[in-house]
Amino acid sequence: MDWKHLLAYITGTADQELLLRNEYLVTENRILRNQLKGRIRLSDGERKALAVIGQQLGKRALKAVAQIVKPETILAWHRTLVAQKFDGSQQRQSPGRPRIDPELEALIVRIAQENRSWGYDRIVGALANLGLTISDQTVGNILKRHSIPPAPERKTKMFQRCWSAMFFGCTRVRAPFNPIE
């Protein structure tokens, strides 16, 4: 390799490093301008952007360029990103049973609100008549999640409302009581 090719290679590498440094500084300055007061709190996206560029720059160049965090921190962010990429979490499903369909959940809540005296088993039976299979425990969990009390409590509240309406309604209609003297 003659000296012309060697010089072109070295200047090309230097230019690439300068471009990376400039890209890093532009990103860092944009972040700093957005957060001028107090301690700088970086979002995950900002950390990710700095980590990717910082990894390309290398530790030695980062020491000269990085101003808001230490170069070791930036490289640690990159290691965390790489570890997250290959930890298999994208293939993993959430633990436990799959969630109930939101439409089915809304139907259960509507049935419970419209039929206050129905218990969990009766709601399950009504859903079975519609061709839907679900357990009474799941119905109970859904109603709990929506702050709907069990049937006896709903029934009692309904009874108390009806009773008070009848009682107060009757006392208003009645003639005043005058004892015989």
- Look at residues 67, 145, 65 and name the one whose alpha carbon lies nearest to residue 99: 145
- Alpha carbon of 45 to those of 34, 37, 58, 96: distances in Å? 14, 20, 20, 30
pLDDT at 44 (0 to 100): 86
pLDDT at 110 (0 to 100): 94
H-state helical runs in 66-173: 71-85, 102-114, 120-129, 136-145, 151-173
What's the rounded Cα separation, in Å, for the pair 109 and 140?
10
Structure tokens at 34: 């957005």
CB-based contact 49:34 (threshold 8 Å): no
pLDDT at 173 (0 to 100): 47
What's the rounded Cα separation, in Å, for the pair 38 and 100?
45
Please enumerate in sequence order all residues whose Cβ is within 8 A of that of 158, keeping only pairs 6 or more positions apart, or say none.
116, 117
Predicted TM-score (pTM) above 0.75: no
What residue type is 162 in one-letter code?
C
For the chain, 181 residues long, give each residue's pLDDT as a single digit of tens: 566 666 566 666 667 777 788 888 878 877 876 777 767 788 888 888 888 888 888 888 888 777 778 889 988 988 888 888 777 766 777 777 778 899 999 999 999 999 888 889 999 999 999 999 999 999 999 999 998 888 776 555 555 666 666 666 655 444 555 556 5
